Chain A
């Protein structure tokens, strides 16, 4: 017997009821079967994840399409990437949140991540430390401009033209092993964020100023290709007590200051042995009403004790 189904309100063919194994943080979001993206081109997948360990670090990252985009036929616009710089043992990473109003926000986010990684690897090749954050930002912005130029067939697209196509936030950085223990250097443009999660206390420490805790929300932000005069950056020491997290506001907004149910959930799941990549993605696919944005999260555990 075919499983009981229901008619999609959009008038599409009957769909099977969705699986009940999603993590829910009450109140649960609306339950429905995801709808395909109607964006031009071949859309990316609903979920991406990756994870591996070097001698010094364990990494997990995932990006998950939010329920709003699943419901309204829009593609996932958050991206993440990471790679190893083999000569130094460093891990370079980037997380980006394509601006919804940009026509190809998903493409912009991935382009920014890739360009930031290439620039950071290049700097590591030249033994540049600390990182030139302004140059990382410039490289990402330049990549978006070039992509826009190729698409529009114009040599010098305006910032507005690039923004209209590819605007995105970016958090990018490197964790570098060292004789005194690992160091992490990060930069950001926009409202994506990074945190240190203390494995002993389960507390989160934001590395960039979180969205203002105004009485009511107000979250207009700068995003690439625009680069502020002062690129936000931070450098911290890592040790096995601390987990470095970088994420988009699809994770950061429901996390808040980390003391709520989402913060407790992730702390419980991350302070022990790192979860498998698919389990990490499953965590990030939590359902909580009104928190239906795409989300990307990257986590790095240090395996190196400070000397």
Chain B
């Protein structure tokens, strides 16, 4: 993904800008951004987008350690939810938007870390995971990362990777906006749309 660092940062910036321009939605969203390679780096701790003065900067680094990301999320998400509830908020189930351009470097260990994260008996605040794969990522792995078949997407063969990254963020923003609009209804739900330039990963397995 090294060649596409600019697209990655543009995508993160567009996400922050959109939240900034939608105060009613931004009030109901808290955003964290992490990068994972051989380890995890927190680019933005859980934050209110309205308070951001600059978008977090992503850096493309080495291998792709899926397990490090899932382990970190398993520790941080419960802490963040507790903090939000302590502030008086009602908290809906978190959503993790996962983007990878490679195979997991910690096969098969990452699978246990993911399972611990999404098992609601182990992690009551377990997130939904929407997974997108580009570049060297494989459809089968991506579909195994996503928590539901309709949450896993793989970039179409030979697509423009930069464009795919942009579409990933466009879809993420739409998901946030549409999901937020259901929060006050009797049926709040996570709205996930297939990003342009992607297909369902299960269809490619």
Known A216-B125, A290-B89; contact A191-B188, beta-carbon cutoff 8 A: no
Q: Say yes or no: B184 contacts A220, CB within 8 Å.
A: no
Q: Say yes or no: A169 contacts B186, CB within 8 Å.
A: yes
Which of B169-192 touch A at CB < 8 Å? 181-182, 184-188
| Complex interface: chain A residues within 8 A of B24 (CB) | 30, 67-68, 71-72, 292
**Residue B91 lies at the interface, judged by CB distance under 8 Å to chain A:** yes
- The residue in chain B whose Cβ has the minimal distance to the Cβ of A218 is B93
Q: Say yes or no: B27 contacts A215, CB within 8 Å.
A: no
Q: Say yes or no: A9 contacts B185, CB within 8 Å.
A: no
Q: Say yes or no: B187 contacts A220, CB within 8 Å.
A: yes
- The residue in chain B whose Cβ has the minimal distance to the Cβ of A100 is B185
Question: Nearest-CB distance from B32 to chain A (Å)?
Answer: 16
Question: Nearest-CB distance from A239 to chain B (Å)?
Answer: 33
Interface of A is mostly: loop
| Complex interface: chain B residues within 8 A of A97 (CB) | 186
Q: Say yes or no: B186 contacts A29, CB within 8 Å.
A: no
- The residue in chain B whose Cβ has the minimal distance to the Cβ of A288 is B88
**Residue A260 lies at the interface, judged by CB distance under 8 Å to chain B:** yes
Which of A276-302 touch B at CB < 8 Å? 289-290, 292-293
| Complex interface: chain B residues within 8 A of A214 (CB) | 124
Which of B146-205 touch A at CB < 8 Å? 181-182, 184-188
- The residue in chain B whose Cβ has the minimal distance to the Cβ of A168 is B186
| Complex interface: chain A residues within 8 A of B76 (CB) | none
- The residue in chain A whose Cβ has the minimal distance to the Cβ of B26 is A30
Question: Nearest-CB distance from B127 to chain A (Å)?
Answer: 9
**Residue A271 lies at the interface, judged by CB distance under 8 Å to chain B:** no
Interface residues on B, range: 20 to 34
How many residues of chain A have a CB within 8 Å of chain B? 32
Question: Nearest-CB distance from B34 to chain A (Å)?
Answer: 20
Q: Which of A9, A99, A219, A293 contacts B21 (CB 8 A)?
A: A9
**What is the CA–CA distance of A67 and B28 in the complex, to the nearest angstrom?**
13
Interface code A169-184, partner B: CB below 8 Å = 1, 0 otherwise?
A: 1000000000000000
| Complex interface: chain A residues within 8 A of B125 (CB) | 215-216
Known A215-B81, A215-B125, A217-B91; contact A30-B188, beta-carbon cutoff 8 A: no
**Residue A223 lies at the interface, judged by CB distance under 8 Å to chain B:** yes
**Residue B92 lies at the interface, judged by CB distance under 8 Å to chain A:** yes
Q: Say yes or no: A290 contacts B185, CB within 8 Å.
A: no
Known A215-B81, A215-B125; contact A191-B186, beta-carbon cutoff 8 A: yes
Question: Nearest-CB distance from A69 to chain B (Å)?
Answer: 9
Q: Say yes or no: B184 contacts A101, CB within 8 Å.
A: no
Interface code B62-84, partner A: CB below 8 Å = 1, 0 otherwise?
A: 00000000000000000001000
**What is the CA–CA distance of A217 and B89 in the complex, to the nearest angstrom?**
10
**Residue B45 lies at the interface, judged by CB distance under 8 Å to chain A:** no
Q: Which of B23, B89, B186 contacts A219 (CB 8 A)?
A: B186
Interface code B1-28, partner A: CB below 8 Å = 1, 0 otherwise?
A: 0000000000000000000010110011
Q: Which of A30, A100, A215, A253 contacts B23 (CB 8 A)?
A: A30
- The residue in chain A whose Cβ has the minimal distance to the Cβ of B123 is A215
**What is the CA–CA distance of A12 and B46 in the complex, to the nearest angstrom?**
34
Question: Nearest-CB distance from A70 to chain B (Å)?
Answer: 10
Q: Which of A190, A218, A223, A293 contacts B184 (CB 8 A)?
A: A293
Which of A244-294 touch B at CB < 8 Å? 250, 253, 260, 289-290, 292-293
Q: Say yes or no: A292 contacts B186, CB within 8 Å.
A: no
- Chain B residues with a Cβ under 8 A of chain A: 21, 23-24, 27-28, 81, 88-94, 124-125, 181-182, 184-188
